[in-house]
Structure 1
Amino acid sequence: MKLTEQWKDKWVTQPGLMLITVVIWSIFIGLCIKAGALLFTSIYSFFKPIVSQDLYEGLNLYGLRNEEIWFYVGLVSLLVAIACLKAYLYYLMIRIFLTINLNHPFSKEVSVLISEIASIAIQTGLLIILTTGSLKWLIKRGFDIPSMGAYTGGAFEYLLLGALIYAIAQVFKRGVEIQSENELTV
């Protein structure tokens, strides 16, 4: 009963935040589908190798799978990890938008979530750099790897995003301290 009233209150007092939350939910669901499909088809490709010709949206790693299975496993693991980190990043955003209260925006929980988003964004950027390096190494060794810009692009953007959000997390942390001091003095 209390949760329903809380949701009604959020929709009435903070419609903009709830609209953003709905958009973020749709992106999160899409990223979960991408990560799940990539994981499922990758596992299925061990039993039926022909599946590796179209792992997800035309990603063809059939040549690598046939030539060297362990490099295939490593590359696919990196791609799945990147997809999962991106989905988790949006999950954390959903949690922030469901937690934040515009009347008292500085809360310890929101501050921790913002710090975690910064950490995940930086990890995603570093993992993309690692994957790009691995791809270049495999191509240099003569393996037939298709262009994977859609899967390995945006490393710099994620690193920059992580640094920016880390700065915002520090501001939020200080805001929590000031807000708690003000509540104690009143």
Structure 2
Amino acid sequence: MSIKTDYILKALNVLSWIVFIGLCLDAGIFIVYTILTLMLEPAQAAKMWKEVDLTAVYNHSESYFVTLTSLIIIATILKALMFYVIIKFFYNKNFNLAKPFNETTKRFVLNMGYLSLGIAFFSSWGTGFVEGLTQKGVSMPDLRYMRLAGADVWWFMGIVLFVIAFIFKKGIELQNENELTV
């Protein structure tokens, strides 16, 4: 491996750690926000975090509030889990750039595809839920602040990752076949 490739991989590893920590904080903030809103008065909890004020949802229906925050939390945790898998892959000793077509890499790409589809599913569900609440006249913050925007991109990414995983599967078969014929 060249020196440039080593630096790029190290930079990607550091970026993955930064994003992972940020997503963990995001998920934790949403969990704390939900618990405090349910335990305290919603107006008190709204003062705690101005970015996403869901007091209108809470005032409309407590069960809608719990459903919406659960969808946000699940989508955010899946995103954090995705970056955890990336970090774990960097530290995996079976990862070899000289022979990229191996079971470890295929499993990694498949796991990323499954996580992408999970994020897409919960983001789509959350977006539909928010649109339904908006039609009922409930004042809602923007989807990007609730971390639910971009479900279509997650669907696309999941499908592309599955295609890449099956290309890796075929590459592994061809590589094994070549090793046997030599």
Query: TM-score, normalised on structure 2?
Result: 0.86
Bigger share in helix = 1
Partner of 1:88: 81
State how far apart, in whole Å, the 2-side matches of 1:163 and 1:131 are. Answer: 20
Displacement of 1:75 after TM fit?
Answer: 0.5
Aligned pair partner of 1:175 in 148, 171, 175: 171
Aligned pair partner of 1:166 in 162, 166, 176: 162
State how far apart, in whole Å, the 1-side matches of 2:15 and 2:137 are. Answer: 42
Displacement of 1:51 after TM fit?
Answer: 4.4
Secondary structure of 1:177's aligned partner: helix
Structure 2 residues not aligned, in runs of 5+: none
Q: Percent identity?
A: 28
Distance 1:72 1:176, change over 3 A: same
Higher relative CO (Cα under 8 Å, sequence separation at least 6) belongs to 2
State how far apart, in whole Å, the 1-side matches of 2:159 and 2:62 are. Answer: 36
Displacement of 1:12 after TM fit?
Answer: 10
- Aligned AA (1:146): P
Distance 1:66 1:87, change over 3 A: same
Q: Contact 1:38–1:56 (CA<8 Å) still a contact in 2? A: no
Secondary structure of 1:46's aligned partner: helix
State how far apart, in whole Å, the 2-side matches of 1:159 and 1:55 are. Answer: 33
Aligned pair partner of 1:47 in 20, 33, 39: 39
Q: Contact 1:38–1:55 (CA<8 Å) still a contact in 2? A: no
